[in-house]
Amino acid sequence: MYVELKHINKNYGNFQASKDVSFGIEQGKLVALLGPSGSGKTTILRMIAGLEHPNSGEILIDGKVVNDIPATKRGIGFVFQSYALFRYMTVFDNVAFGLEIQKVPKDEIKKRVLELIELVGLKGMEKRYPNQLSGGQRQRVAFARALAPNPSILLLDEPFAAIDAKVRQELRSWLKNMIEKLGVTSIFVTHDQDEAIEVADEIIITNKGRVEQKGTPIEVYQNPKTAFTASFFGQPSELVDYKQFNTFKDLKNVDKVFVRPEFVKVTKKSEQQFYKTSAVEGVIEQIFFRGNTLELVVRVGDNVFTARRGLDEELVEIGEKVDIFLYRIFVTSGDEAHLVQNQSIREESLVI
């Protein structure tokens, strides 16, 4: 493990921002710290950077405990949420700053800075000041500035939060490619799960100061291990009374039940129904057009949840009675979550 946190605790007065946080990150990986606001993800990032001190526990970088090493000596690059560009310096001077501090010879600085500026696609803008750049360009400068002194770890705090939606999409793939190309171990903080799934090699999910789960985006998405992850990832709806669905009547040890839209099959009465016996009747309550799909809010008894239908399928209407079939559900008991398949899928396929 290149970066490792061992049993980290951090308090602000009575507020515990980190509770027994432990995880490791391999060299060269791009890792997302994902969680709702107040979940302690930024605190973890700032502790790795050395901007905060843990109350207990150890932080290791490249096998060495760095708790007592100041931020400036940890060999990290940090991209601030607001970028924190030096407003009274040009793009060139911003990127050159860290190298000047290290007393790198002038002509080397110039070479490296121009290289970096070209790398981030801002060639020709060396003489501009931060207020003459767009949000996306500023982020690129912040990125180049953090990379200039050749850090062994790059830390990014909500790198896309200050950018408007259109540019954000483009910047995400740009940043992913760039970090892959450079091979620098990177950790970024985000509250946006799409962003984490799309950009990261690995996701660490945080909640209330704890690490809930760590894994590749597919692992975490497919197999939520904790109640929180199950209720957070995807677009889950909670079923208030799961007993109203025939096939799930006999579950034991259940605290909560969640379904994701892709777990739900909505069939019009006129359409052919595969799992007739185990489907229940529901009513369409709302319809949202989401571009490539229709998002439906469906009611079955007391349960209200989200489902989807493709645009190539026949349209449904608000108030229409439809058949609802659940392929699978997430069941939580205590802190754990597991997936429960609909039994009838196997049974009925046997019949056919």
Partner 1 sequence: MALFKRNKQVRVIPGFKLTLGITIALLSLLVLIPLASVLVYSFKLSPSEFWKLITASNVLNAFATSIVCALIAALINSVFGLILAWVLVKYDFPGKRILDGLIELPFALPTAVAGITLSKMYSDTGFPGSFFSSIGLDISYTKIGIVIALIFIGIPFTVRAVQPVLEKLDNQYEEAAYILGSSRRRTFRKVIFPELFPSLLTGFGLALARGIGEYGSVIYISGNSAKDNTQVVSYVIMQKLERMDYASATAIALVLLIISFVLLFVINIIQIRRSRRISVR
Partner 2 sequence: MEIFDQKEARSRKITKYILIGLSVLFIAVMLILPLASVIVNSLREGVDYYFKALSTDYVTSALVVTFIATVIAVAVNTVFGLVASWVITKFDFKGKNVLSTLIDIPFSISPVIAGLAFIMTFGRLGWASEIIDSINSALGTDIQIVFAIPGVVLATIFVTFPFVSREIVPVLNTVGKDEEEAASILGAGGFKIFRKITFPHIKWALVYGIILCTARALGEFGAVHALSKTRGGTFTLPLEIDALYMSGSADSITAAFAVSSLLVLIAVAVLIVRNVFEFRTKSKNRKGK
> Residue 345's binding partner, choosing from partner 2, partner 1, none, with beta-carbon cut-off 5 to 8 A by kind?
none
For the window 13-52, what string marks contact with partner 1 as x by the rule CB under 8 A? -------------------------------------xxx
Considering the rule CB under 8 A, would residue 98 count as an interface residue with partner 2? yes
Token output for 118: 């070209």
**Residue from 49, 120, 144, 196 binding partner 2 (CB under 8 A):** 49
Q: Quote the least distance from Cβ 277 to partner 1, whole Å.
A: 55
Copy the structure tokens of residue 322.
Answer: 């439809």
150 binds partner 2 (CB under 8 A): no
User: Cα separation of 209 and 193, whole Å?
Assistant: 18
Buried b (16+ CB within 10 A) or exposed e, 217-243: beebbeebbbbbbbbbbbebbbbeebe
From residue 317, alpha-carbon distances to 260, 274, 287, 314 in Å are 21, 22, 8, 10
Which one of partner 2, partner 1, none is in contact with 145 (Cβ closer than 5 to 8 A by kind)?
Answer: partner 2
Determine, following the binding rule CB under 8 A, whether residue 101 of this chain makes contact with partner 2: yes
Residue 37: contacted member of partner 2, partner 1, none (CB under 5 to 8 Å, by partner type): none
The edge-to-edge listing of strands for the beta sheet with 237-238 is 237-238, 256-259, 328-333, 336-341
82 part of the interface to partner 1, by CB under 8 A: no
Residue 193 belongs to what H/E stretch? helix 193-199
Residue in 22, 56, 82, 343 binding partner 2, rule: CB under 8 A: 82
Helix (H, G, I), strand (E, B) or coil at 327: coil
Contacts with partner 1: how many residues (CB under 8 A)?
10
Residue 102 contacts which entry, partner 2, partner 1, none (Cβ below 5-8 A, type-dependent): partner 2
97 scored as a contact of partner 2 (CB under 8 A): yes
* Closest among 162, 152, 153 to 85, alpha carbons compared: 162
Beta-strand pair 185-190/153-157: parallel
In angstroms, what is the minimal distance from the CB of 66 to partner 2?
Answer: 14
Binding segment (CB under 8 A) for partner 2, from list 36-44, 80-88, 184-192, 274-282: 80-88
Which among 14, 9, 18, 13 is positioned nearest to 39, based on CA atoms? 18
Interaction of residue 286 with partner 2, rule CB under 8 A: no
Q: Are 40 and 208 in contact (CB under 8 A)?
A: yes
Q: How far is the CB of 77 from partner 1 (least distance, A)?
A: 14
Q: Are 142 and 85 in contact (CB under 8 A)?
A: yes
Token pair, residue 52, equals: 């905060």
Smallest distance from partner 1 to CB 144, Å: 21
Binding of residue 289 to partner 2 (CB under 8 A): no
Give residues in contact with partner 2 (CB under 8 A). Answer: 49-51, 71-72, 76-78, 80, 82-89, 97-98, 101-102, 131, 145, 149
List residues near partner 1 by CB under 8 A. Answer: 11-12, 50-53, 55, 70-72
